[in-house]
Amino acid sequence: MRFFLKVLFPLILIFSAAAGYYAYQQFSAFKLSTVKQDNQVFEIAKGSTIGSVSKQLAQKNIISSPLYFKWLAKLNKQASKIKAGEYQIKKGMTPDDLLSLFVKGATLQYQTRLPEGKTFNELVSIIQSDKHLKQTLSDEDYNHIMQKLDTDYSQYKPEGWFFPDTYSYPRNTTDLQFLQRAHNAMVKKLKAGWAEREPFKGIDSLYDALILASIIEKETGDPRDRKKVARVFINRLEKNMLLQTDPTVIYGMGKAYKGNIRKKDLKKDTPFNTYTRKGLPPTPITTPSAASIDAVFHPDNDNKILYFVAKGDGLSHFSENYKAHKKAVVKYLLNGDSSRYQGDK
């Protein structure tokens, strides 16, 4: 028996060493293996373990061995650090690359753009039609969206309060989370500008700045004019003049606007008619860009210009008085025919 054990024991050691060496070689080869297919999407559900993730990876032919992947995660002390989410798996990635991706939580990102110059209702349509956002808000929720946000500005209407930008986000981001992020970005932009602003009469709060920025957004045909347009309105506010801006009238008309603003529309008094009421309208009229917000806080230095008219090339002609403005209107809009001028009637 002793003889048998003496012979068997070395054989066991040899076989164990051989098996261990073989396993080591296989594990080393596994670590060097790479993903063969490109742009695969792999999702780790909440509560997943390294074991379940390893099996799913093997089932999708992303890795060759769930056991070795599990070993590797434990050796790297990453087994409990993987994060749930949707991941983009690319050709050539190694098991170490996969683990690093899962531990960093570098999930697949989708993008949605909120354009400048849009009303809140138009932004809602963009969000509601986005298949990548998780839709949780009803039409009634949107009617009270400011009360659903975590904000110090819940007493205001939602118009203008969502910063226009392209936002990246992971799958299962909700519409409310998306709106919260856009709102936070707008508040941050306004506060940063307010801290460095030039103080002007009539711009007494962040909301005033937001309202004026929205008007500038709709009135600027060429970005090069933006600061001058801002200066015109600021000069008018400081002189207690009517702003006389068509976009506010159009906004106040709502669905009644059919693409053409008439003389009687300019005379019909509404809270948004800046031809009949002095000061800023009660709310913004659109989503202002960062450039329009900056123009409110840092307008052009010309504190005499009070009028502007489109020249037809995207730019505007600016005037210091009504007489000069009338000449510019006749020149640029009426082909030099002063008999067609209606401004004095």
CATH number at 95 reads: 3.30.1490.480
| 153-180 tens-digit pLDDT | 999 999 999 999 999 999 889 999 999 9
345 pLDDT exceeds 70? no
Q: Are residues 205 and 189 in the same domain?
A: no
Would 22 be classed as within a structural domain? no
Q: Are residues 63 and 156 in the same domain?
A: no
Contacts of 101 (CB under 8 A, 6+ apart): 87, 89, 93
What six digits make up the tokens of 13? 């050691």
| 65-107 tens-digit pLDDT | 999 999 999 999 999 999 999 999 999 999 999 999 999 999 9
| Dihedral-angle region of residue 159 (phi above 0 means left; psi in -120 to 50 means alpha; beta otherwise) | beta
Would 219 be classed as within a structural domain? yes
Q: Are residues 236 and 325 in the same domain?
A: no
Share of the chain above pLDDT 90, in %: 82
Domain stop point among 80, 107, 134: 107
Domain that holds residue 225: 201-304
Q: Are residues 45 and 122 in the same domain?
A: no
**Closest C-alpha to 85, from 62, 112, 106, 110:** 106
Helix and strand numbers, DSSP H then E, in the chain: 14, 6
The Cα-based distances of 309 to 9, 96, 286, 327, 329 in angstroms read 100, 63, 21, 10, 6
Q: Are residues 222 and 297 in the same domain?
A: yes
Contacts of 1 (CB under 8 A, 6+ apart): none
Q: Which secondary structure element, helix H or strand E, spans residue 284, and what is its range?
A: none
Q: Are residues 119 and 103 in the same domain?
A: no
What six digits make up the tokens of 73? 């995660």
5 pLDDT exceeds 70? no
